Amino acid sequence: MSKLGNLGARLHRGEISYDFVGKRNNWYSISFLITITAIVGLVVNGLNLGIEFQGGAVFTTPNNMSVSVAQAKEYAHTASGQEAIVQKLGNGSLRIQIAGIDTSKSDQIKNTLAKDLKIDSNKLAADLVGPSWGEQIANKAWEGLGIFMVLVVIYLAIAFEWRMAVAALVALIHDITITTGIYALVGFEVTPGTVIGLLTILGYSLYDTVVVFDSLKEQTKDITKQTRWTYADIANKSINGTLVRSINTTVVALLPVAGLLFIGGGFLGAGTLNDISLSLFVGLAAGAYSSIFIATPLVADLKEREPQMKALRKRVLAKRAQAAAEESAATDGVARDESPDDTAPALAGRRVPSMARGRGRRRAPRKHR
């Protein structure tokens, strides 16, 4: 943990960093593929809506039933003519949910089901939901989600700016699409608890996004008065500065949710926990991802389209190019100063006569006749 803390401190001080914004096209591509997969799952499989949204009946048996879940499914299908969702509760009772049936036929289905289960029909509890009431609940859920989105955009536009509001909205739509797509792919039932989970993870996703946006807003107050950093550079610094914090809060939030989903819903068989735990688990992970890889890089893309930011980018790049040229010239000068005499290479390839050869061969004196 101390190493992770040291890493967070170094990231916050800018000693090390990862280029999240520079590689934003990679993150956009990954998110696009995941979103397309989620949409295909929604189109092909659709959502397994609970009776609260499409109407139906829930029958609960007495405790310690000896009938298996598979047998109860078969009995419910025979009585209603439709597929049923059967869950075994902790006290040994069975929860038999049949969606999309007419409430006028509920008594007949109840009597047939009680006969097959070999229990008194009075001991078989029945909760009925009419289709019109279920449709009303579904419409109210969509209205609540839409109002939530509008309020979020208005708040972020006032507190920060409209570009950050747009980026946050895109990140929220990204998180909702992925979460609902996972529900369609795995076939978990969508209940009011699922809607509560969705609203919860949207708030959590906004929390991570607002933390980065607040840091970005603080660091870009007088950005046009300097020529050292572009807007994308400061956006990347903001992500790195809050990265370890986002990871820590996400992991801490995911641990209890993972316990609900994998231990409570999977190992212990408490299927009623799946509707809310899956939305929380997938949504928390998607929200942490979108706040780092989608929202802030998208803000940088939108901001750098402004004329002021374009001019700033040109000045920063020009200054960096000038500094690189001066450094290269200084390096070349040092290299020339430290090199040997320039005449040495020229003389190295020539045959230099030796001392004896320079004096020439001594000749004997000529005799005069």
Residue type, 323: A
Q: Quick one: pLDDT at residue 197? A: 82
Q: Quick one: pLDDT at residue 267? A: 57
Report the distance separating Cα 103 and Cα 105, nearest Å: 5
Same domain, 229 and 303: yes
Residue with tokens 């890493």: 7
Please tell me the total count of domains within the chain: 2
Residues paired with 48 in a beta bridge: 189
- Tell if the pTM clears 0.85, that is, is over it: no
In the Cβ-directed half-sphere of 42, how many Cα atoms lie within 13 Å? 13
**133-151 per-residue burial string, b: 16 or more CB within 10 A, e: under 16:** ebeebbeebeeebeebbee
- Residues 245/292, Cβ–Cβ less than 8 Å: no
Report the distance separating Cα 261 and Cα 252, nearest Å: 15
Same domain, 185 and 235: yes
Report the distance separating Cα 291 and Cα 278, nearest Å: 20
Higher pLDDT, 359 or 31: 31
Lowest mean pLDDT among 108-112, 155-159, 193-197, 270-274: 270-274
Q: The domain containing residue 253 runs over which residues?
A: 2-49+133-314
Same domain, 79 and 227: no
Where residue 343 falls among pLDDT bands split at 50, 70, 90? very low
Q: Which of 278, 297, 314 lies at the terminal end of a domain, its last residue?
A: 314
pLDDT, tens digit, for every residue of 169-191?
A: 999 999 989 988 988 888 877 88
Where residue 18 falls among pLDDT bands split at 50, 70, 90? confident
Beta-carbon count within 10 A of 176 CB: 20
End-to-end CA distance of the chain: 110
Q: Which of 129, 153, 176 lies at the terminal end of a domain, its last residue?
A: 129
pLDDT tops 80 at residue 308: yes
Same domain, 303 and 158: yes
Higher pLDDT, 359 or 197: 197
CATH number, domain at 88? 3.30.70.3400
Same domain, 64 and 141: no
Evaluate whether residue 244 is within a structural domain: yes
Evaluate whether residue 324 is within a structural domain: no
Evaluate whether residue 241 is within a structural domain: yes
pLDDT tops 70 at residue 12: no
Give the pair of three-digit tokens for residue 171: 């990140």
Same domain, 44 and 65: no
What is the pLDDT of the chain when averaged over all its residues?
79
Same domain, 153 and 301: yes
Report the distance separating Cα 47 and Cα 261, nearest Å: 19
CATH number, domain at 274? 1.20.1640.10
Same domain, 106 and 149: no
Report the distance separating Cα 306 and Cα 302, nearest Å: 8
Same domain, 146 and 283: yes
Evaluate whether residue 268 is within a structural domain: yes
Same domain, 198 and 223: yes
Evaluate whether residue 213 is within a structural domain: yes
pLDDT tops 80 at residue 13: no
Evaluate whether residue 350 is within a structural domain: no
pLDDT, tens digit, for every residue of 210-237?
A: 888 988 888 888 888 888 899 999 999 8
Give the pair of three-digit tokens for residue 62: 């007495």
Residues paired with 60 in a beta bridge: 95, 125
Evaluate whether residue 329 is within a structural domain: no
Task: Compute the radius of gyration of the chain from its Cα atoms.
Answer: 36
Higher pLDDT, 102 or 127: 127
Q: Quick one: pLDDT at residue 60? A: 87
What phi and psi values does residue 99 have, to the nearest 5 degrees?
A: -95, 155
Residue with tokens 């820590």: 248
Q: Which of 129, 161, 192 lies at the terminal end of a domain, its last residue?
A: 129
Evaluate whether residue 181 is within a structural domain: yes
3-state secondary structure 68-81: CHHHHHHHHHHHHC
Same domain, 76 and 9: no
pLDDT, tens digit, for every residue of 25-82?
A: 999 999 999 999 999 999 998 888 777 777 788 888 888 778 888 888 888 888 888 8
Same domain, 104 and 224: no
